[in-house]
Amino acid sequence: MAFSGGKDSVVILDLVKRSGVKYDAHYNITGIDPPELFYFIRDNFPEVERHRPETTIWKLIVKKMMPPTRRVRYCCEYLKERGGAGRRVITGVRHAESSRRSKRGFIEECFKDKHKIYVNPIIDWLDEDVWEYIKTRGLKYCSLYDEGFKRLGCIGCPMAGKIGREKEFARWPAYEKKFRTAFAAAAAARNLKNCSQEWADTHPLLQSWVDGEAMFNWWMKEQKHKDDPDQTVMFE
């Protein structure tokens, strides 16, 4: 089972337990999840196996020499899309979460691994259904929901949109500082590698990413689409 600590995962874990089927639950530590979410999982779900990635988002930003974006989410590939090979993976994906997820099915074959099957048992549940189940069953949930957060995921996730990230950075300013520091290092690495002015003239982004501040400002304005709460789930 793919466990993220969000309300949908809490429901799925309870359903799996009640079903009596054999299972094991896994949480991929991204390093940029809200601290409250990490401690909620640690303190309330000791049976969930926690996995640390081989790298960090900060190192990835410098290595890729660019920010993670909606179109280029290398962060998910390295920090979330791990495990579950050749297995049935239960997730809390729901149609109501976004237009993209509205096209998902109850049972799906992983496009990267034909032997890995996703099972999405609450695919047709609405938010109201999820909260009703949590309250009826008396399940614990992360306190961030009571602060008004609708989605719980990586801080600074490009899928949260500009407004979502601004809210997250206001709540956890230390992470904004870390992103700015990483972008400064990424811009320096990019400028060092791309020393040819002729080559730079053909790549407009190189001209706008002159330093970390410019890269951060571009990144915060990069979202030109409607905010979408969809994120890549673990094991996807």
Same domain for 118 and 173?
A: no
Same domain for 108 and 119?
A: yes
Same domain for 68 and 94?
A: yes
Q: How far is 229 from 206, CA to CA, in rounded Å?
A: 29
Same domain for 62 and 175?
A: no
Give the structural domain span for 175. Answer: 162-221
Same domain for 35 and 23?
A: yes
Same domain for 115 and 77?
A: yes
Q: Please give the chain's pLDDT, 236 residues, in tens.
A: 999 999 999 999 999 999 999 999 999 999 999 999 999 999 999 999 999 999 999 999 999 999 999 888 899 888 987 777 778 999 898 998 877 777 777 788 877 777 889 899 999 999 999 999 999 999 999 999 999 998 899 999 988 888 999 999 999 999 999 999 999 999 998 877 665 455 455 556 666 788 999 999 999 986 554 444 444 444 33
Same domain for 28 and 141?
A: yes
- Predicted local confidence at residue 236, as pLDDT: 34
Domain count, the chain: 2
Q: Report the CATH number that the domain containing residue 18 is assigned in CATH.
A: 3.40.50.620
Residue 234 falls within a domain, yes or no?
Answer: no
pTM of the predicted model, to two decimals? 0.84
Instruction: Report how far apart, in Å, the C-alpha atoms of 227 and of each of 17, 163, 190 are.
Output: 34, 8, 29
- Predicted local confidence at residue 234, as pLDDT: 41
Same domain for 130 and 195?
A: no
Other beta carbons within 10 angstroms of residue 31's beta carbon come to 18
